[in-house]
């Protein structure tokens, strides 16, 4: 078994962090076997080195090694890329094509960003892991393959499982062994070593003297968060190599190439217990309130017409409006106002008294209704705000969740100045 130090030299891995050494040690131990491995770590930590180590130390080292970025392949073609397709399987399939699992038979496939795989592809991948079988797109013939799978992801697959975006059974098949690569901010002693390596590489590439950091610049380098990890550090080293005329880098010079400190603060992770979804009961309640608002508006129109025309002219009121509010025993039954009792003749004083009373009642009812409408609008604004926040400002997703069209949501946003 090769030593960790030899593996580092062979694959140009820089650093002496205990967590990094443990990850390499696990890769060396699992390499002779055929068990599946899941490499976990943030973007830019160098996850692609682990599957190369595993392949080179396995009995498959003379077979093919294929690295596939699952997030870079369109959803409509990823099944064809991985498993191949038959001629005429879909538009543009002018010939039969071998997929990666057929080409890499006897070798190793590295599935980077495996969390981005569509659910249908996950089912096919699970079958390969369980019994080594797959079917080409457009074919009914089962084919066998002998492939070692190493997967990697920078997303939390447990969260993806909870959201229904990743299959739980596939996760446990992929993660027979987990290898975690630490972020650069947890490898503070390695940061300066990596920077010196990159500075030397770029000095050779651009034919100029290498950069040197003073003590204060080294401290700035180690205290920085490096959210982009090794990839971000490499980019900063290249920028300094090309743009700085002086080869001695001070803390102030280095700081000018680093993003603002606020942009590198840890992202706020919401508490899982925080309410993020609208409960079914609340949705039903809001729907009932919106329906009540509509009925109140119709009732207001009917009351206004009755007050203006009097019951003696009630037959002139739109029967559909009355039927909507009061309903009817039979769909074919029409309201007959001729059979209703006539209002007795009143004196002028009685008419004036009734009118004042009706007007007072109407104004009171209108005030109550306006208050109710206001409360309903507040609830409506609250719903729209929560839905937009939940869907990160994506109007289409928010409209689907609210059960309205995207055009209606856009109108509501303008109406309420959200």
106-128: average pLDDT: 96
CA distance 315 to 201: 93
- 108: β partners: 65, 148
Per the CB < 8 A criterion, the answer to whether 278 and 383 are in contact is yes
CA distance 154 to 55: 21
For the chain, what is the mean pLDDT? 82
Output the pLDDT for position 397. Answer: 84
pLDDT per position as a tens digit, 331-379: 444 444 444 444 444 455 554 555 455 555 555 555 555 555 556 677 7
Task: List the alpha helices (DSSP H) in 132-228.
Answer: 157-162, 168-174, 188-206, 215-223
265-289: average pLDDT: 51
Percent of the chain topping pLDDT 90: 59
Output the pLDDT for position 188. Answer: 94
Cβ atoms within 10 Å of 34's Cβ, excluding its own: 14
Q: Please name the residues in contact with 310: beta carbons below 8 A apart, sequence gap of 6 or more.
A: 343
**DSSP-derived 3-state class of residue 410:** helix
Which has the minimum average pLDDT: 3-12, 22-31, 176-185, 266-275? 266-275
Hey, what CATH class is 188-264 in? mainly alpha
310-339: average pLDDT: 50
Q: How confident is the model at residue 16 (pLDDT cuts 50, 70, 90)?
A: very high
CA distance 136 to 90: 12
pLDDT per position as a tens digit, 191-202: 999 999 999 999
User: In the chain, what are the domain boundaries?
Assistant: 4-182, 188-264, 280-415
pLDDT at 180 over 60: yes
**DSSP-derived 3-state class of residue 322:** helix
- Tell which residue, 182, 169, 138, 147, has the closest CA to residue 41: 182
**DSSP-derived 3-state class of residue 179:** strand
Output the pLDDT for position 156. Answer: 93
Output the pLDDT for position 278. Answer: 46
Q: Cα 414–417–418 angle (5° rounding)? A: 100
Output the pLDDT for position 406. Answer: 81
The more confident residue out of 40 and 280 is 40
226-248: average pLDDT: 95
Which has the minimum average pLDDT: 101-110, 297-306, 315-324? 315-324
pLDDT at 280 over 70: no
Q: How confident is the model at residue 227 (pLDDT cuts 50, 70, 90)?
A: very high
pLDDT at 324 over 80: no
Q: How confident is the model at residue 309 (pLDDT cuts 50, 70, 90)?
A: low
The more confident residue out of 398 and 227 is 227
161-170: average pLDDT: 95
**DSSP-derived 3-state class of residue 411:** helix
> Residue 289 to residues 78, 221, 280, 286: CA-CA distances in angstroms?
46, 58, 14, 5
pLDDT at 153 over 80: yes
Output the pLDDT for position 373. Answer: 54
Q: How confident is the model at residue 316 (pLDDT cuts 50, 70, 90)?
A: low
CA distance 106 to 59: 9
pLDDT per position as a tens digit, 94-104: 999 999 999 99
* Alpha-carbon Rg for the chain in angstroms: 35
> What superfamily would CATH give domain 4-182?
P-loop containing nucleotide triphosphate hydrolases (3.40.50.300)
Output the pLDDT for position 283. Answer: 61
388-414: average pLDDT: 82
For 253-307, the DSSP string reads: HHHTTSPPGGGGSPPPPPPTTS--S--HHHHHHHHHHHHHHHHHHHHHHHHHHHH
Q: What is the DSSP letter of 62?
A: T
């Amino acid at each position: 078994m090769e030593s960790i130090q030899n593996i580092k030299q062979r694959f140009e891995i820089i650093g002496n962090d205990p967590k990094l050494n443990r990850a390499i040690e696990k890769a060396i131990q699992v390499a002779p076997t055929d068990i599946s491995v899941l490499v976990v770590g943030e973007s830019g930590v160098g996850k692609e080195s682990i599957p190369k180590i595993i392949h080179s130390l396995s009995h498959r080292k003379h077979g093919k090694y294929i690295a596939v970025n699952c997030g870079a392949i369109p959803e409509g073609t990823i099944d064809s890329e991985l498993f191949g397709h038959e001629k005429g399987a879909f538009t543009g399939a002018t010939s039969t094509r071998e997929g990666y699992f057929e080409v890499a038979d006897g070798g190793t496939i590295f599935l980077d960003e495996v969390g981005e795989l569509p659910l249908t592809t996950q089912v096919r991948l699970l079958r390969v892991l369980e019994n080594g079988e797959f079917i080409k797109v457009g074919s009914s013939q089962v084919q066998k393959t002998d492939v070692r799978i190493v997967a990697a992801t920078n997303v939390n697959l447990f969260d993806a499982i909870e959201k229904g975006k990743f299959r739980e059974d596939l996760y446990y098949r992929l993660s027979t062994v987990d290898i975690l690569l630490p972020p650069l901010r947890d490898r503070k002693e390695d940061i300066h070593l990596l920077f010196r390596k990159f500075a030397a590489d770029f000095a050779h590439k651009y034919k100029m003297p290498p950069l040197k950091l003073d003590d204060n610049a080294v401290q700035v380098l180690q205290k920085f968060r490096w959210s982009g990890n090794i990839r971000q550090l490499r980019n900063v080293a290249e920028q300094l190599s090309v743009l700085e005329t002086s080869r001695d880098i001070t803390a102030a010079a280095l700081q000018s190439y680093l993003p603002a400190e606020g942009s590198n603060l840890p992202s706020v992770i919401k508490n899982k217990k925080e309410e993020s979804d609208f409960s079914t009961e609340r949705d039903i309640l809001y729907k009932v309130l919106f329906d009540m608002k509509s009925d109140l508006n119709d009732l207001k129109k009917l009351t206004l017409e009755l007050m203006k025309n009097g019951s003696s002219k009630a037959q002139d009121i739109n029967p559909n409006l009355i039927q909507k509010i009061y309903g009817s025993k039979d769909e074919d039954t029409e309201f007959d106002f001729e059979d209703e009792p006539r209002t007795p003749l009143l004196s002028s004083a009685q008419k004036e008294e009734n009118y004042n009373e009706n007007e007072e009642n109407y104004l009171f009812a209108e005030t109550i209704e306006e208050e109710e409408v206001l409360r309903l609008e507040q609830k409506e604004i609250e719903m729209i705000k929560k839905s937009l926040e939940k869907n990160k400002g994506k109007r289409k997703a928010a409209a689907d969740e609210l059960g309205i069209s995207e055009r209606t949501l856009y109108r509501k946003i303008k109406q309420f100045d959200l």
